[in-house]
Structure 1
């Protein structure tokens, strides 16, 4: 078991919210422009939550180019090439010693409290499963171990989270399981997640504006 190490480096792995390149499973019923607007809202809410959490560093690991949705306070790094497992490994390799937590852009309802738990309890890893069988968060006290822990995990399947969690256990790590959250993948997901966000959040207000537009 690791000693408590203080605030983590917080990594957000994301894709630039360009119509036709993000949230394609939202179309239909949404247009590609509306899907991109929802993706931008989810990403912006995520970034602002990360800004409010204690952190050693905050890094956006981006596929694309930063836009006006990026608030000050983040380093920006390009994603490496390859599958999602390689891109996750590449994100962790941006970190120096000390705990690091990686999250995606699909859970705008995640809280500062959840992010703040990483690195404060002396554990080796933190794992946040997603309800679709993936995971929304992965934290490592020793980011350099990501290559052996993540590389080769099949991504975007309903077993991804279970396989990744098993990898952590098989490596003998002490793991804190974070609450399961719902990713925004489908229109049903978007509606459910909007109901879990504060009404003033960008994601909830964007969903409300789209609903108003079709009345």
Structure 2
């Protein structure tokens, strides 16, 4: 296998639509600012692979935080609009749109700590496998590599955004007859606690610097569940 296509599934960081769970602690603007930084971090890692990159986009960069900067970073790559009624359908279509005959490695923008080495590891595993799954710490997955887009079709039967999405995706691939390898685990950033952990473990990323800036400015916010001030 030569260089696969790197498929980045992304959403424009529009306030009120981006990182809504994080926004509960940072506000809509803060969450969108984080999402913009994470988007740019992901594009840095993508570009560093030297592979062809395809972006499957949702939303409107004209109304996004740092929309012009993100658009400029996307300009060297091919962009396709997401299509389909469900997120799983959009992923399946995105794999078909991105495929150039050398395999596809798909990521999102929720793991801004991802490196080009992480992505190359997925591609290396794909040489002797039909699919590669990189599990996320929350039970989902951060990367899916497939030698042929037909393997991504199993996603239409997998419930998304659940603690067992990763396990169900693995099972669906195996049930379809795929030889599946597993890549290393990474942590998604969905909550303020996740963001703080990112700032601790990947302080050199743009996203971590946004977290550090928000943390230095924000007032303690009572937890909705316990009333505890954090």
Q: Same-fold call, TM > 0.5?
A: yes
Structure exhibiting the larger radius of gyration computed from Cα positions: 2
Supply the distance in 1 between the matched residues of 2:123 and 2:22 (Cα, whole angstroms). Answer: 35
Q: 1:25 aligns with which of 18, 21, 37?
A: 21
Pairwise CA RMSD of aligned residues? 1.5
Number of matched residues? 208
- Where 1:168 maps in the other structure, the secondary structure is helix
Q: CA deviation at 1:200?
A: 3.0
- Where 1:176 maps in the other structure, the secondary structure is strand
Supply the distance in 2 between the matched residues of 1:119 and 1:200 (Cα, whole angstroms). Answer: 25
Greater length-normalized contact order (CA 8 Å, ≥ 6 residues apart): 1
Supply the distance in 1 between the matched residues of 2:105 and 2:180 (Cα, whole angstroms). Answer: 13
Matches within 5 A, 1:1-215: 5-55=1-51, 57-66=52-61, 67=67, 68-70=69-71, 71=73, 72-94=75-97, 95-120=99-124, 121-147=127-153, 149-197=154-202, 199-214=203-218
Deviation sequence 1:15-51 (CA, Å, 0-9, x none): 1000000111013221100000011111110111010
Contact 1:8 1:99 (8 Å CA) reproduced: yes
Q: CA deviation at 1:201?
A: 1.7
Supply the distance in 2 between the matched residues of 1:191 and 1:93 (Cα, whole angstroms). Answer: 36
Structure 1 stretches lacking a partner, 5+ long: none
Supply the distance in 2 between the matched residues of 1:171 and 1:152 (Cα, whole angstroms). Answer: 11
Q: Which structure shows the higher helix fraction?
A: 2
TM-score, length of structure 2 as denominator length: 0.85
Structure 2 stretches lacking a partner, 5+ long: 62-66, 220-230
